Amino acid sequence: MAKKGRINIRGSVFETVNLDYPVGRGGDNRHDDVMLVQAMFRLIGHSPGSAANLLGLSFSELPKITGNCDVLTQRAILAFQRKNSRHLVNADGVIHPSYENRKLSFPQGARFTSITLLHQIILGSVGDVVP
């Protein structure tokens, strides 16, 4: 089930979102986890140009919030990871849960989990994450 977590950014602790199980091709694809990922994509893509600029998708390619890991959801995950691969730990078509109480300091060239990067984009702090 999708859940709240904590993230430590340069010594300050913030509430964040996280997954319990992997979402995407070959993932567990639990309903609540999939819904969280789909909602994050739609939220980011809501602003004009954001879907293409930040996700590598057009707005019409964004998955609907259904909780089912359908073809559009899998394509969205892959497109997001390909678009942002130089900032991610891996681009394997799966959004993995991040470890609890993760610490981020944003060193030059740092790589993040997909769920962490999605969360930072939503918070609008992508400039801090992506050099």
> How do residues 47-84 score in pLDDT, each as one tens digit?
766 777 888 888 888 999 999 999 999 999 999 999 99
Helix (H) or strand (E) holding 15: strand 12-18
Contact (Cβ atoms closer than 8 angstroms) between residue 118 and residue 15: no
Taking the alpha carbons at both ends of the chain, their separation in whole angstroms is 32
Instruction: State the sign of the Cα–Cα–Cα–Cα dihedral 118, 81, 76, 47.
Output: positive
Edge-to-edge strands, sheet with 102-104: 12-18, 3-9, 102-104
pTM, to two decimals:
0.83
pLDDT tens by residue, 21-33 = 999 999 999 999 9
Q: Give the model's pLDDT for residue 127.
A: 46
Task: Name the residue with higher pLDDT: 122 or 127.
Answer: 122
Task: Say how many residues make up the chain.
Answer: 131
